Every structure is written in C-alpha cells, then in structure tokens.
Structure 1
Amino acid sequence: MHWILLRGLTREQAHWGVMLQRLREAFPGHDFHPVDLPGTGTHYREASPAAIPAIREAIQRQCQHIPAPLGLIALSMGGMVALDWAQHVRAGAIQHLVLINTSSGFNRPWHRLRPKTWPTLMRLLTLRDLREREAQILALSSNRQLNPATVQRWYSIQAQRPVSARNAARQLWAAARFRPAEERPLPDALVLASRDDRIVDWYCSERLAERWQWTLRLHPDAGHDLPLDDPDWVIAEIKAYLEARGVPLDAPAPPRQSLGA
C-alpha cells in the first residue's frame, strides 16, 4: 500500500518529524510519501490556491506517479484536502483514510477554530520575528513542554522554505470555506482527535465520524499536532485499525493502477 501524508496550515513535510520514520518502521511493507501543499515546503515559491478543491487538484498532479490504490494520512487542513480527494476519485483508488484533528463545513465556525485562538492566529500572520513566531505556533499546537530543539528545527524549516503571509492567508481562507460533499466517500475511515486540542474542537471529528459511521479514537491530552505529541499512539491506532480489516502490515505494495478519477 502506498500512503500519501499531508500536513496542515503553513506546515510542510519536514514537520512530520519522527512520525515518518516511525511509520516506515511499523509498516515495513508499505510506502509512505509526504507531500507538500502548494505554497509550502518544496513548493513555497508557488501561490497557494484559495480553495480546497484547487489545492487537492495540485496534490493529485504531484502524486500521478504513485501507484494506486492509496491510503491518505492527513492532519488538520491536510485532512480537508484528503477528504475532498476521496470524494473526487474513482471507486477503489483510495482505500484507507486517516484524518487527524480536522474539521469541515459540517461544523460550526467556533468549533472549527476555537474563538480563543482567533486573536493569536491573526497576530502570528503578521509577526516578523520568525523564531518567536515558530515558538508560539509550537506552544499553541502542542500540549507538551516546549522543546528548544523542536523550536530550532521549526525555525530552520521556515528560514529555508518560508511560507508567505499571503499564502498563509489564502490557505486559511480555503480551510474556512471548505464543506465536503454529502456522500460518504468510504464505508469506513479512521478519525483521530485530541480532546485537549486548543485550536480545533474535537467535536468536529466526532461529528464527522457520527455522520458517516466512521471509526473515532480520542487521545486524552495531546494537542492539535497529535503526531508530534504522541506519534506512538497514532501509529498504534492505525495499526489496530488496519489489522481489524485484515490489511497485512508487511505486505508488498500492490501493482500499479491508474489514479484517474
């Protein structure tokens, strides 16, 4: 199985940190491909589209060379892109969907972005001190003790591949307007959420899981960046989910198929 990994607002593949290596160790027969959204990471010089479907189309073009069927592991806004992808591709092309601390237009605005967070995010968009900005983003998205090494790593990422304020605003606008189609894209998916997420209310994940009868698992104390705060828990939940569905963890990747819609 080939998996696409998508991060959230203004974040890139380097922000997966140890999670990517842990996934590869836990699922030796699977291939994991972290992909950057337009305007971030390797594509930081590009203009980000201001709508989730357009971002999804850009991601699909990047992934044309990766054999289907696919699994998607996606965090926050990346989860919106993954959900939109699953709803706009031919049946069977995406077989597994793991959504982490995401939201959609099925939820109230004050659940999708907690009101206490709004002033902080607006300030961060215009904060010129890059190191301080990354430290504040980390403090907001993680519930663990602030790690200076992680602050330094995040600072280095943004110093090398800076996300412009314009692209950040366009991504935020795209996320705010996203509403999935009504039809359930898969019979089941794994929805992971943090009860103590200070950015997105975990009710958004509960609502999505209830709407389509998907599997919901809640972490008791991690923050919005759940893969950062507890990567082992995330991997354990993915492993249990796949094993319950008879997916071999060390199976070879399936034959190449078309990714066409």
Structure 2
Amino acid sequence: MHWILLRGLTREQAHWGDFPELLRSAFPEHQFHTVDLPGTGTLFRDDSPGSIPEIRRRVCDQVKHIPRPFSLLALSMGGMVALDWAQHAAPGELQHLVLINSSSGFSPFWKRMRPMAWPNLVRLLARRELFHRERDILRLTSNREVPLALSKSWYSIQRQRPVSYRTAVSQLRAAARYRPQERRPMPDALLLASKGDRIVHWGCSAELEQRWCWTLRLHPDAGHDLPLDEPDWVVRQIAAWLPQ
C-alpha cells in the first residue's frame, strides 16, 4: 500500500522529522511518500493558491506517478486538503484516510483557530529573525520540551527553503474559507486529535466523528504537532485501526 503524507500551514516534508521512518519500520509492507504543498519545501518558489480545492489539485499533479489506490495521512491544514481530496477522488483512488488535528468549516471559527492562538500566530508571521521564529513555532505547536537541536533543524529548513509571507497569508485564507461538502466521502476514516492542542480545538475532529460516524482517538495532553510529540502513540492508533 502507498501512503501520501501532507503537512500543515507553512510546513514542509522535512518537518516530519523521523516520523516517516517510524512508519516504515512499523509497516514494512507499506510505502510512504512525503509531499509538499505548493509554496513550501521543494515548491517554495511556487505561489500558493488561495483555496483548498486548488491546493488539492496542485498536490494531485505531483503524485500521478504513484500507483492507485493509495492512502492519505495528513496533519492540520494538510487534513483539509486530504478531506477535499477524498470528496473528489475517482472511484478506487483512495483506500484509507487519517486526519490529525485537522478542522473544517463544519466547526465554528473559534474552534478552528483557538482565540489564544491568533496573537501568537500574527506575531510569528511578522517576525523576521528566523531562529527565534522557528523556535517559537515549535513552542506553540508542541507541548513537550523543545530541544535546541530541533530548533536548529527547523531553522536550517527555513534557511534552505524559505516560506514567504505571501504563501503564509494565502494558506491562512484558504484554510479559513474551506468548507467540505455535506456527503461522507468514505465509510470510515481515522481522526486523531490532542486535547492539549493550543491551536485547533479537538472538537473539530469530534464534529467529523459525529457527523459521519468516523473513528476518533484522543490524546490527553500532546500538542498540535501530534506526530512530533507522540509519534509512537500515532503509530499504535493507526495499527489498531487498519484492517488486519
């Protein structure tokens, strides 16, 4: 089975860190492909579209070489792209869907972006000193102690493939406008959320669970970047959910 991994707002494939390798070790019969959203990572020179459907179309263009069916594992805004993908996929194109700390227009704006996160986010986007900005992004998205080496790693990523202020604003606009279709795209999907998430309220995942009878698993205290804070827990939830 082939999996496509999508990150969130202003983040790229390198921000997964060791998580893809952990997945490959846990599921050696599967193949995992990290793919960047336009305007980030290997595509940092590209413009970012102002809507989730257009971002999804651009991502689909990148993966035409991957055999179908494949599965999607997506974090935060990447989860919006994955959900939109699932609702527009051709028959037999997608097999499994895992959404992590994501949100949608089904939830009120104050759950999609917690009020306490807005001033921090605006300050971070305006900050020009890269090392401190990346360190503070980590402190906002993680509920664990942030090692200096990790801050340096994220600083290096931004130095090599800088995400522009224009891309960040465009992605924020796309996320704020996104509302899925009413129809359930798949019989089941795995929703992973953190009660300790200080950016997106876990109730956004609970809304999808209640609306479409999907599977929800909650972590009690991890941050928004759940694969960073609790990667082993994420892998265990996927292993328990996947058909044997």
| TM-score, scaled to structure 1 | 0.93
Identity %: 64
Q: Secondary structure at the match of 1:65?
A: coil
Superposed structure 1 runs of 4+ greater than 3 Å apart: none
Greater shift after overlay, 152-161 or 88-97? 88-97
Report deviation, 1:91: 2.2
Residues 33-52 of structure 1 mapped to structure 2, 5 A cutoff: 33-52=33-52
Q: Which has the higher contact order (CA 8 A, sep 6+)?
A: 1
Q: Which residue number in structure 2 is paired with residue 224 of structure 1?
A: 224
Report deviation, 1:210: 1.0
Report deviation, 1:146: 1.8
Q: Which runs of 5+ in 2 are unaligned?
A: none
Residues 23-102 of structure 1 mapped to structure 2, 5 A cutoff: 23-102=23-102
Matches of 1:17 and 1:93 in 2, distance apart?
A: 28
- For the pair 1:179 / 2:179, whether they are aligned, the reply is yes
Matches of 1:186 and 1:146 in 2, distance apart?
A: 37
Q: Which residue number in structure 1 is paired with residue 106 of structure 2?
A: 106
Q: Secondary structure at the match of 2:185?
A: coil
Matches of 2:223 and 2:53 in 1, distance apart?
A: 27
Paired amino acid for 2:7: R
Q: Which residue number in structure 2 is paired with residue 11 of structure 1?
A: 11
Per-residue CA deviations over 1:227-247 (Å, capped at 9, x if unaligned) read: 0001000000001101xx23x
Matches of 1:220 and 1:126 in 2, distance apart?
A: 32
Matches of 1:11 and 1:209 in 2, distance apart?
A: 26
Per-residue CA deviations over 1:125-182 (Å, capped at 9, x if unaligned) read: 1101000100110000000012111100000000000000000000010001100011
- For the pair 1:203 / 2:203, whether they are aligned, the reply is yes
Matches of 2:178 and 2:147 in 1, distance apart?
A: 33
Paired amino acid for 2:146: L
Q: Secondary structure at the match of 1:38?
A: coil
| TM-score, scaled to structure 2 | 0.99
